[in-house]
């Protein structure tokens, strides 16, 4: 099967995009490394406080004119952006595979989901319409105008380098705000390409800015008085203790989408083949580096034969997963993003063993398709007999590790899922409507899957989250994003 051509052939020097100009940073430069083959594909700056301040100042200056630009005119630029994204669909997908390691079907899926958010935001003339009530008292009318707020910061994670900033960016600019995006410094290339296409689409200088870097840029956003709000996707400690807290202190709006430990409940009446296929994507898709990845498979019932056959099917399919470079079209699972993250996963495997769980499939032994270094590769691991309150059963691993648990009833499955501090994307596989409803009603999870292992909402639904998985009120995507990026100005009018 074909190995697709790499779009990034030489080392790409990443610049910041500020006020419509590509600007070299004065900050330290670090390498962007393809985790599959170890090749350096880019050099990215860790930008300075002055550079984030310059971007915010440019955005603030662009804001008054951009706000006055009609929603239809803003929408037309988004339509042009959507067309450009379609034209460059394959290139941006392959860049994601090169910089992150995910396989090409996953990258294309990520590209499509990103574009879908641009498509939804194109409807801003109607999405942003206000509300009007005539005669709220005699001769008095009242109406609500959603108005933009100014400048927003968008902080992206490494696991979905392209799509996640697009959960926010199209809605922010469509509603008349200006933005500063900080991509993950590990995977900045697809965001750089996105900014090039945004520039080509015709956003005026200062509306769409990108500043690469790390903590200094994030702190610069959090402390800046001209930033009205932040959207963030990343770990719970950072989201809760830094982003959410500091936004509270500085009076900013915030969406902080954080970590997860997702439980998949498997009822004995499930469609076994479809459930097992769904599990592969959910547990091992994106090499487990996904806040909606299932981590714990909770198998319900006391039927030992069902349990054994089911687990055998899971192991059989998992052990045949083809691992390699994601640009090889036959590959089903790529590497972990970097060596340090792989080592974290390996430590959890050791922890699982120390905690007494049984390792049914050992991902530490890995067969890689093609001649690639093992540095970042790991195979799927499956543990049996994991306790939900153990480290293995309760903490986010962010790698291709499945923990099998067994309970007698659906109620027990819901109880152990709800006892976990996270509440991002729990799911159930069953053919029974009553069980599905019980689950959906009682589970404490922002996103719920019924016979769907990855509970990712489409662009016109909010990407939800509960408990330690989400800090904030409104969510990214769709109508909630429009509300997040606008203030409700309410006017009451009487004429004498």
Establish if 454 lies at the interface with another protein (CB under 8 A). yes
Choose the binding region for another protein from 123-131, 249-257, 324-332, 406-414 (rule: CB under 8 A): 324-332
Give whichever of 262 and 281 is closer to another protein, judged by the CB atom. 281
Strand partners, 438: none
Give whichever of 24 and 87 is closer to another protein, judged by the CB atom. 87
* Spatial separation of the C-alpha atoms in residues 105 and 118, rounded to whole Å: 20
Question: According to CB under 8 A, which one of 49, 145, 317, 466 is a site residue for another protein?
Answer: 317
Q: Annotate 414-458 with DSSP letters as a single string.
A: HHHHHHSSEESEEEEE-S-HHHHHHHHHH---SEEEES-SS-PPP
Q: Check if the beta carbon of residue 51 is closer than 8 Å to that of residue 25.
A: yes
Please list the alpha-helical segments (H only) found in 281-432. Answer: 304-319, 339-354, 391-394, 410-419
Q: Which of 178, 270, 291, 376 is catalytic?
A: 291
Q: Is 442 exposed, middle or buried (0-12, 13-18, 19+ CB in 10 A)?
A: middle
Establish if 3 lies at the interface with another protein (CB under 8 A). no
Q: Whole-number minimum distance, CB 83 to another protein, in Å?
A: 14
Binding mask 333-352 for another protein (x = CB under 8 A): x-------------------
Establish if 51 lies at the interface with another protein (CB under 8 A). no
Q: Check if the beta carbon of residue 94 is closer than 8 Å to that of residue 6.
A: yes
Q: Whole-number minimum distance, CB 458 to another protein, in Å?
A: 9
- Residue 267 phi, psi (nearest 5): -85, 155
The closest of 252, 279, 249 to 266, measured between CA atoms, is 279
> At which residue do the structure tokens 């639904």 appear?
461
Establish if 118 lies at the interface with another protein (CB under 8 A). no
Site for another protein in 361-420 (CB under 8 A): none
* Spatial separation of the C-alpha atoms in residues 313 and 423, rounded to whole Å: 28
Strand partners, 178: 151
Give whichever of 96 and 168 is closer to another protein, judged by the CB atom. 96
Establish if 329 lies at the interface with another protein (CB under 8 A). yes
Establish if 105 lies at the interface with another protein (CB under 8 A). yes
Site for another protein in 142-161 (CB under 8 A): none
Q: Check if the beta carbon of residue 171 is closer than 8 Å to that of residue 144.
A: no
* Spatial separation of the C-alpha atoms in residues 261 and 109, rounded to whole Å: 23
Q: Whole-number minimum distance, CB 32 to another protein, in Å?
A: 22
* Spatial separation of the C-alpha atoms in residues 281 and 381, rounded to whole Å: 14
Q: Whole-number minimum distance, CB 102 to another protein, in Å?
A: 8
Binding mask 456-475 for another protein (x = CB under 8 A): x-------------------
Size, binding site for another protein by CB under 8 A = 31
* Spatial separation of the C-alpha atoms in residues 23 and 15, rounded to whole Å: 6
- What does the CA dihedral 22, 25, 30, 34 come to, rounded to 10 degrees? -10
Establish if 114 lies at the interface with another protein (CB under 8 A). no
Binding mask 74-93 for another protein (x = CB under 8 A): ---------------x----
Site for another protein in 247-286 (CB under 8 A): 274, 277-278, 280-281, 285-286
Q: Whole-number minimum distance, CB 486 to another protein, in Å?
A: 28
* Spatial separation of the C-alpha atoms in residues 417 and 434, rounded to whole Å: 18
Q: Whole-number minimum distance, CB 464 to another protein, in Å?
A: 15
Q: Check if the beta carbon of residue 195 is closer than 8 Å to that of residue 15.
A: no
Give whichever of 246 and 322 is closer to another protein, judged by the CB atom. 322
Question: Is 291 one of the catalytic residues?
Answer: yes
Give whichever of 4 and 57 is closer to another protein, judged by the CB atom. 4
* Spatial separation of the C-alpha atoms in residues 7 and 68, rounded to whole Å: 38
Choose the binding region for another protein from 217-225, 296-304, 354-362, 448-456 (rule: CB under 8 A): 448-456
Q: Is 447 exposed, middle or buried (0-12, 13-18, 19+ CB in 10 A)?
A: buried
Question: According to CB under 8 A, which one of 40, 129, 133, 330 is a site residue for another protein?
Answer: 330
* Spatial separation of the C-alpha atoms in residues 438 and 462, rounded to whole Å: 22
Give whichever of 330 and 409 is closer to another protein, judged by the CB atom. 330
Give whichever of 76 and 322 is closer to another protein, judged by the CB atom. 322
Give the binding site for another protein (CB under 8 A). Answer: 1-2, 89, 103-106, 108-110, 112-113, 274, 277-278, 280-281, 285-286, 292, 317, 322, 329-333, 452, 454-456
Catalogue the active-site residues: 291
């Amino acid at each position: 099967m074909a190995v697709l051509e790499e779009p990034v052939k030489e080392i790409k020097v990443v610049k910041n995009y500020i006020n419509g100009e590509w600007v070299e940073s004065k900050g330290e430069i670090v390498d962007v490394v393809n985790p599959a083959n170890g090749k350096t594909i880019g050099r990215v700056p860790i930008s300075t406080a002055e550079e984030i301040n310059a971007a915010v100042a440019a955005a603030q200056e662009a804001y008054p004119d951009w706000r006055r630009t009609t929603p239809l005119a803003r929408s037309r630029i988004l339509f042009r952006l959507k067309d450009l994204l379609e034209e460059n669909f394959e290139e941006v997908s392959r860049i994601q595979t090169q910089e992150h390691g995910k396989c090409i079907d996953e990258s294309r899926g990520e590209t499509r989901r990103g574009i879908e958010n641009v498509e939804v935001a194109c409807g801003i003339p109607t999405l942003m319409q206000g509300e009007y009530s005539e005669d709220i008292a005699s001769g008095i009318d009242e109406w609500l105008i959603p108005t933009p707020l100014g400048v927003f910061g968008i902080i992206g994670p490494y696991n979905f380098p392209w799509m996640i900033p697009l959960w926010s960016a199209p809605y922010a600019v469509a509603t008349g705000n200006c933005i500063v995006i900080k991509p993950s410094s590990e995977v900045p290339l697809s965001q750089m390409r996105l900014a090039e296409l945004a520039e080509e689409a015709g956003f005026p200088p200062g509306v769409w800015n990108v500043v690469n870097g790390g903590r200094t840029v994030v702190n610069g956003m959090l402390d800046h008085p001209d930033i009205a709000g932040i959207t963030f996707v990343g770990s719970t400690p950072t989201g809760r203790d830094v982003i959410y807290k500091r936004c509270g202190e500085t009076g900013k709006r915030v969406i902080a989408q954080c970590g997860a430990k997702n439980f998949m409940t498997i009822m004995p009446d499930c469609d076994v083949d479809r459930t097992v296929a769904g599990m592969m994507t959910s547990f091992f898709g994106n090499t487990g580096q996904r806040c909606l990845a299932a981590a714990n498979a909770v198998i319900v019932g006391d039927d030992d034969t069902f349990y054994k056959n089911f687990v055998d099917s899971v192991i059989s399919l998992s052990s045949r997963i083809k691992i390699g470079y994601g640009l090889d079209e036959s590959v089903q699972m790529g590497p972990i993003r970097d060596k340090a993250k792989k080592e974290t996963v390996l430590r959890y495997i050791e922890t699982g063993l120390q905690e007494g769980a049984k390792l049914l499939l050992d991902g530490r032994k890995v067969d890689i398709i093609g001649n690639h270094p093992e540095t970042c590769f790991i195979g799927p691991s499956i543990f049996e007999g994991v306790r939900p309150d153990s480290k293995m059963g309760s903490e986010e691993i962010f790698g291709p590790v499945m923990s099998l648990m067994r309970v007698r009833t659906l109620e027990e499955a819901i109880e152990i899922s709800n006892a976990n501090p996270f509440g991002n994307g729990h799911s159930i596989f069953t053919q029974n409507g009553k069980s599905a409803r019980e689950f959906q009603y009682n589970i404490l999870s922002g996103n719920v899957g019924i016979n769907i292992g990855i509970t990712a909402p489409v662009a016109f639904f909010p990407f939800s989250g509960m408990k330690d998985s989400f800090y904030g009120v409104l969510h990214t995507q769709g109508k909630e994003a429009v509300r997040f990026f606008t203030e409700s100005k309410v006017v009451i009018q009487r004429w004498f």
